[in-house]
Amino acid sequence: GFSGADLANLVNEAALRATREGAEVIAAADFDAAYDKMVLGDAREAKLDPLEKRRVAVHESGHAVAAHFSADVEPLRRVTIIPRGMALGVTEQSPGADRHIMTEQELLARLVVLMGGQAAEQVVLGTRSSGAEHDLEQATSLALEMVAHFGMSESIGPMYLEPQASPTFLSTGGSGDPPGSDASLQAVEEEARRLLRQARAEAEQLIHAHRAAHERLVAALLDHETVERPELVTLLGEPQAA
């Protein structure tokens, strides 16, 4: 959730937008635009050729399908192929109540959603692209935390390994006791890699299972660039796990 300072900035940004639009009161659309600017960055011009634009639509629709048809995932709020910040497209989910703990199933589902974009590119277009870089960065970090910090691996067991600025990627935290060997660290990386491959496979299965819904969303994005939640439910169907 937003802090008090964040909320003050949100109200101020919404007020500035309303003033620029010549409005006498701040409308819900002003708050939506202010939220997007704060969380996602400013909208920007990006000259994409038709093939690139379609790939972005396929990619973002992949995230959306993975989120919509997975259990333990926050509901979709909006999907857009309008570039914002460094991203060429964004799939937003509705923030729920402030969370301090996430279950293993929720984290696994998050991995599937992160892999949904690349999975859709592979299934629909037959190739992958550099557009998944940030997704893979987030997914890799999460998978390593699940294995090395949260004890969510049967093969590694309930242990905590602390990332360090050292030649090895992970090392033991504090005590210096085993397991901190290269073999243990390699096992952690391999287990994280297994989780990522599993998540990508599940994402690909969701794209195959809901290919028609995916294609409808791609078409809507190419026509309108942004699709909000009410239309998302119409295009994708009822949000239930496959």
What positions carry a catalytic annotation?
A: 60
**Spatial distance between the Cα atoms of 78 and 94, rounded to a whole number of angstroms:** 8
φ, ψ of residue 165 in degrees (nearest 5): -80, 80
3-class DSSP state of 226: strand
Partners of residue 226 on adjacent β-strands: 80
Report the candidate in 190, 153, 152, 151 with the shortest Cα–Cα distance to residue 169.
Answer: 190
Query: What is the helix (H) or strand (E) element at residue 92, kind and residue range?
Result: strand 90-93
Contact 240, 69 (CB under 8 A): yes
3-class DSSP state of 111: helix
Query: What is the helix (H) or strand (E) element at residue 99, kind and residue range?
Result: none
Hey, how many other C-beta atoms are within 10 angstroms of the C-beta on 144?
21
Sorted by sequence, the CB contacts under 8 Å of residue 125 that are 6+ apart come out as: 55, 58
